[in-house]
Amino acid sequence: MKKKLKKIPKFRKEDDERKFWSDVDSTEYIDWEKAEIVALPKLKPSTKTISLRLPESMLDEIRTIANKHDVPYQSFIKIILKEKIDEELKKPA
């Protein structure tokens, strides 16, 4: 006999939904055996604007390097950060 699934609540904000799913066992709400793989090619990750203070000389160097790669400097910063994050995550704890 199949277990009865709980009803997924309605959320006012994405942060509320994110908190909810981080605190519960999703198998109580979703029958994952019926799940299907879907492609969402136009889905963009959520972003958050931050303020980051850098020395002007460092920002100038970043802009110069980004220009050499024909990439906007903010995109270049994200590339550098992602590469460093991946490198750090591969290191043993």
Q: Where are the domains of the chain?
A: 14-90
∠ Cα 90 19 47 (to 5°)? 60
CA 36, 2, 5, 26 torsion-angle sign? negative
Q: For position 55, what pLDDT does the model report?
A: 98
Q: For position 3, what pLDDT does the model report?
A: 79
Q: For position 59, what pLDDT does the model report?
A: 97
Q: Report pTM.
A: 0.55
Q: What is the mean pLDDT of each run of 10 residues along the chain (93 residues)?
A: 88 95 95 91 90 97 97 96 96 86
CB 31 within 8 A of CB 5: yes
Q: Return left, alpha or beta for 70; rule: phi > 0 is left, psi -120 to 50 is alpha, else beta.
A: left
Q: For position 93, what pLDDT does the model report?
A: 79
**From CA 59, how far away is CA 33, in angstroms rounded?**
50
Q: In Å, what is the CA distance from 1 to each residue of 4, 31, 62?
A: 9, 13, 61
Q: For position 1, what pLDDT does the model report?
A: 65
